[in-house]
Structure 1
């Protein structure tokens, strides 16, 4: 997959592009709704003999447009998103820097610079896609251009509710992991590296791997979860129980959230290993216990519950 990182203005003559069909959107999470847009683009590209392309943006537009509600954590950080797109056989990915200058372009200027200049022949986007200054461009305005075709993809729902990145983030914050995974279409995952921790787990019989996320992920809410963890260099997957939180039994005012995974039937040193944690089931919120014995008893219960939940994982 060829990746083109574009700023405004960009060097049009420096790009060596064949005609393409492009799916346009931010696509954080690449959830089932996003997959539907990309699937439609691929269908059109194959039918028309075009390259398959995705156009996305970085950072999230809210960083420029909504400073009070800016989104700086992601379900699929850019590098992860690019890897997922490459794995499905996308030919081109246009990563457009979302800056104040870009946000100030009129809808027509955006089309001239980032659709026509890139030899795009088919544009596919969700029904609610907007572009240009103040978001005045939409599917209807795109459809008025004659140099390319536009296809709008309708709303994808689960039950009666639209599948969206916002809803997944809300689900993760509310411990509704089951619903988040349902509309994602897969277990939520975070990539990281195993780093040195406080090593308290081994002293109470439950050694843990302390995971430092590689990117600015939107983490599940503080609590205990049944997870699987892949050792990326080996490709092996192990089952475990994970605590996301601040360890209130040991700390009164710790703010930094940690991710600690206790793997079942595993006793190897894996410091420095790159891993991927897959969140499968929520078990309970993070609690403060009255002492070590109470904590140990609860962790044993959490482990047994996780073993049962992950029986078919």
Structure 2
């Protein structure tokens, strides 16, 4: 897959005719996957290259600074990895700046679609473009110039609209299973295993301290059943994870959030390894214990429960 970062629209134009899925696509959830699948279908029928156009940062950074979104379900590099696995040929990343936000609808159509060798545009029903977001899919179909337009309708799961906003809420409320259902896969955070305090080792529960490598949405603080994939070997392991401030040992007001995974029956050192943490089920909120013995007893209970949850999961 060729990734093209756009500073000027002309930088996109050196490629064959394309079918283009366009949107922000944070999460690449079931609704987004429907758009991408439709784009791939249309591209194959019309013998076009498969392309996706997305934006960075989230439009709210420019358009709604009071509610700006700077953390993501799928940060840019994660998004890129998923699109490549889906078989996309070209990924266009357009900087969402004040200048871009002020672009007229017709200029957007000309510069980013018509002149960009786009023959088919595929987007969700709620996609908007142009100054003040006045352009919508109905208007795009009316104003199209050299391309066809396909609108993908709302995707629902159990009568509930699949949406990035709802998935974010679910994760932050600890509703991981519900979020995973809308994503169509377990939520994932990628990062680097770094040196921690090594306190877990002293109480019999060594942990991998994972530092996220991008600005991911963090799930609700607490304890989870997780799996961890070591990217250098491709191996996946089951474990229990605490995300939080470790209040038994730290003042939350003076500490940073950490992600610490205790991997079951694992004794290797993996400092410096890149890993992916997959979140499967919320076990309990983070809490402060009266002492080490109470903490150890609770960790043992957490481990047993996580083992039960993950027992039949194929790795």
Compute the TM-score of the two structures, normalised by the length of structure 1: 0.97
Deviation at 1:146, TM superposition (A): 4.1
The equivalent of 1:2 in structure 2 is 2
1:1-313 aligned at under 5 Å gives the runs 1-7=1-7, 9-12=8-11, 15-144=13-142, 145-252=144-251, 253-313=253-313
2-structure distance, mates of 1:265, 1:174: 30
Classify the secondary structure of the residue corresponding to 1:155: coil
After superposition, the C-alpha distances for 1:199-253 in whole angstroms (9 at most, x for unaligned) are 1101111111100001111111101000010110000111100000000111123
1-structure distance, mates of 2:58, 2:169: 17
Answer whether contact 2:9 2:112 (CA < 8 A) is retained.
Answer: no
Query: How many corresponding residue pairs?
Result: 311
2-structure distance, mates of 1:76, 1:128: 20
When the two chains are superposed, the root-mean-square deviation of aligned CA atoms in Å is: 1.0
After superposition, the C-alpha distances for 1:27-83 in whole angstroms (9 at most, x for unaligned) are 011110000000011111111111111010011111111101111111111111111
Deviation at 1:141, TM superposition (A): 0.9
2-structure distance, mates of 1:136, 1:286: 45
After superposition, the C-alpha distances for 1:138-193 in whole angstroms (9 at most, x for unaligned) are 00111012411101000001122210111110000100001000000000001101
Runs of at least 5 residues in structure 1 that lack an aligned partner in the other structure? none
> Runs of 4+ in structure 1 displaced over 3 angstroms?
none
1-structure distance, mates of 2:42, 2:10: 28
